[in-house]
Amino acid sequence: MEDKKTSLLYRFIRMLVRLFYPKTAVSGTENLPEGEAIVVGNHTQMNGPIAGELYFPGRHYIWCAGQMMHLKEVPAYAFEDFWSFKPGYIRWYYKLMSYVIAPLSVCIFNNAHTIPVYHDMRLASTFRITMSRLEEGSRIVIYPEHNRKYNNIVYDFQDKFVDVAKLYYKKTGKALDFVPMYIAPALRTMYLGKPIRFDPAAPIARERERICRYLMEEITAMAASLPEHTVVPYRNVPKGEYPKNVPVEVYAHEDADG
């Protein structure tokens, strides 16, 4: 993999983040397959992308929201995704911040090891770039949570990322492995679990459900097996509402507002 040239500003920002963001250890590297694979983890707000960029081992690229790479698209996406749950009286501040961070977002996400993810006609480019990186032997890191709570550890996964494995098998004849990853900022560690392999003979809808269910359950099990700690949830809620990893409370498919 040939590293792309990065801007001086990005290198300065990366240096500052590495200086001030707690170093994150990696546990379970023996579970990583040799070569290409898809690693799927809990988002933990900005902790997932930061820890993934700085500390995930080996050659890797992170799926990121394509809107965060385009100056005109950052404010609307950032406010809706990060701050739309803030109390009404303070939302004006976060709307302002969504514009302030736009230039920095464009710089960071266009210089880091990222693959833009879109949900419109540009989706084809997401899969094309992903396939290319996999063929190079890189690992793809994905944080697929969205706004429906699965349990106290993770939110439900958007499942279309599994389709990458179908396309990759069709092109190369290789069945991809999906590796579960639990990021625990409180423990300053990312944990890698045992992988699950894509079954090219099964219907894709069944594989989406099977693989996502396995990954969410394995991430939950990894979290529950660790010493008691605070879980950083997907949603940007007040810190007083952050859950603990134990006991595991089941909220299967409960609406996030429920």
Cα distance between residue 24 and residue 127, in whole Å: 29
Question: What is the predicted pLDDT for the residue at 255?
Answer: 47
Cα distance between residue 57 and residue 25, in whole Å: 10
Rounded (5°) CA angle 21-25-31: 140
Burial of 100 (0-12, 13-18, 19+ CB in 10 A): exposed
Tokens of 235: 């949603």
Beta-carbon count within 10 A of 214 CB:
17
* pTM check: above 0.75: yes
The stretch 221-236 carries a mean pLDDT of: 95
Tell me the pLDDT tens digit for each residue of 234-246: 998 889 999 999 8
Q: Which phi and psi angles does 237 have, rounded to 5°?
A: -100, 165
Domain ranges of the chain: 21-66+115-255
Report whether pLDDT(156) > 90. yes
Beta-carbon count within 10 A of 89 CB:
7
Between helix 91-100 and helix 102-111 the angle, nearest 10°, is 50
Q: Which amino acid is at 98?
A: S
Tokens of 167: 């396309």
The answer to whether residues 41 and 24 touch, using CB atoms and an 8 Å cutoff, is: no
Tell me the pLDDT tens digit for each residue of 146-155: 989 999 999 9
The answer to whether residues 190 and 181 touch, using CB atoms and an 8 Å cutoff, is: yes
Report whether pLDDT(252) > 60. no
Beta-carbon count within 10 A of 59 CB:
15
